[in-house]
Amino acid sequence: MNTRIPEQYVKSGKIAREVRQWILGNVRAGSGLLDVAEKIEAEIVRRGGQPAFPTGMGVNEVTAHYAPQEDEVGVIQESDVVKIDYGVHIDGYIADTSITITENPQYQSLLEATEKALQAAIDVVKRDKRIGEIGKAISSVAEREGYRPINNLSGHTVEQYQVHAGKSIPNLYAPNLPMLKNADVFAIEPFLTLPDAAGYVIEGPQVNIFSLIVRRKTGNKELDEVMDLIWNERKTLPFSPRWYSGRFKEGRLLFLLRELEKRRLVTSYATLVEASGKPVAQFEHTMAIDDGGLVILT
């Protein structure tokens, strides 16, 4: 690869690929959501990386930003469509990827269509760097296969310690968008749902992912200690309260995070749910443009 693409991206992508194979070999009906999330994060660490964000376990209509917490009791059922969204970082260089699994024959074609949409998007990038054409390819495959894309979720460029950086890559055609350029690193992630679904997501009640916006002293010793803890371990990468709960009395960390959110030093990410309650599938790869060519990192 061109030296402008940091080697850490390549290493993060390799770990993400290995973890995908672990998922395919180990996650099935009967697996607990919390257990899967913790084991994925442990596999990332065992291979020399760190989680780029809390592992997402999106069951059926739950589409994004659901990270199991310590009180999670959910178990994957044979009928479920389960999106597993995870990321790896090394020194803040992120490989973001996702896979959807199901043991329900009713939804197998939904998964296959979503994978086809991702491949069609990749094929476009190989010959045309216009972001709008990527979205057009995704929506065209969805329509041809009898499904519809989620219209208010998108792929994105990534940068060091930034999962969503600058450019968005929609799942529908949109004009007047910027082009992808040499050395851009980005994730394409089609989300497809059933033809009679609403086709967009809304915020659900759960909030269990946070990230630090900026590190700044507040004058409150306890708040400053929380910020220092997060900054030293995560910088601005998303995190789960589950990762830190053992260091605080029950409920105290969430209270402190809410206080920091009020001061606009921390942001939170609500769970996103398909508006009509229909199942959603997602597949995602992170890739880079290297001297005009395309390198699939994950």
Domains and CATH numbers, the chain: 7-203+276-296 (3.90.230.10), 208-271 (1.10.10.10)
Has 65 been annotated as catalytic?
no
In the prediction, which pLDDT does 142 show? 97
Residue 177 pLDDT class (50, 70, 90 cuts): confident
> Which residues, other chains included, contact 112 with Cβ-Cβ below 8 Å and sequence gap of 6+?
145
What pairs with residue 96 in β-bridges?
A: 87
Which of helix, strand or coil describes residue 61?
A: coil
Residue 123 pLDDT class (50, 70, 90 cuts): very high
Residue 5 pLDDT class (50, 70, 90 cuts): confident
Has 156 been annotated as catalytic?
yes
Q: What is the pLDDT of residues 64-115, one digit of tens each?
A: 999 999 999 999 999 999 999 999 999 999 999 999 999 999 999 999 999 9
Q: What is the pLDDT of residues 272-288, one digit of tens each?
A: 999 999 999 999 999 99
In the prediction, which pLDDT does 149 show? 98
In the prediction, which pLDDT does 126 show? 87
115 vs 160: CA distance, rounded Å: 27
In the prediction, which pLDDT does 44 show? 98
Has 164 been annotated as catalytic?
yes
In the prediction, which pLDDT does 292 show? 66
Selected catalytic residue, list 65, 89, 156, 285: 156
Has 189 been annotated as catalytic?
yes
124 vs 77: CA distance, rounded Å: 36
CB-based contact 237:89 (threshold 8 Å):
yes
Mean pLDDT within 20-49: 98
Q: Please state, rounded to an integer, the average pLDDT across all residues of the chain.
A: 95
pTM for this prediction: 0.94
Burial 19-35 (b: 16+ CB within 10 A, else e): bbeebeeebeeebbbbe
In the prediction, which pLDDT does 175 show? 85
Selected catalytic residue, list 96, 184, 274, 285: 96
In the prediction, which pLDDT does 79 show? 98
Residue 196: pLDDT over 80: yes
- The region, left, alpha or beta by phi > 0 then psi within -120 to 50, assigned to residue 262 is alpha
Residue 250 pLDDT class (50, 70, 90 cuts): confident
Neighbours of 293 (CB within 10 A): 12
Radius of gyration in angstroms for the set of CA atoms belonging to the chain, rounded to a whole number: 19
CB-based contact 166:157 (threshold 8 Å):
yes
Has 89 been annotated as catalytic?
no
Has 78 been annotated as catalytic?
no
Mean pLDDT within 192-217: 96
Mean pLDDT within 290-295: 84
Residue 251 pLDDT class (50, 70, 90 cuts): confident
In the prediction, which pLDDT does 270 show? 97
Q: What is the pLDDT of residues 255-271, one digit of tens each?
A: 999 999 999 999 999 99
Selected catalytic residue, list 85, 89, 274, 285: 85
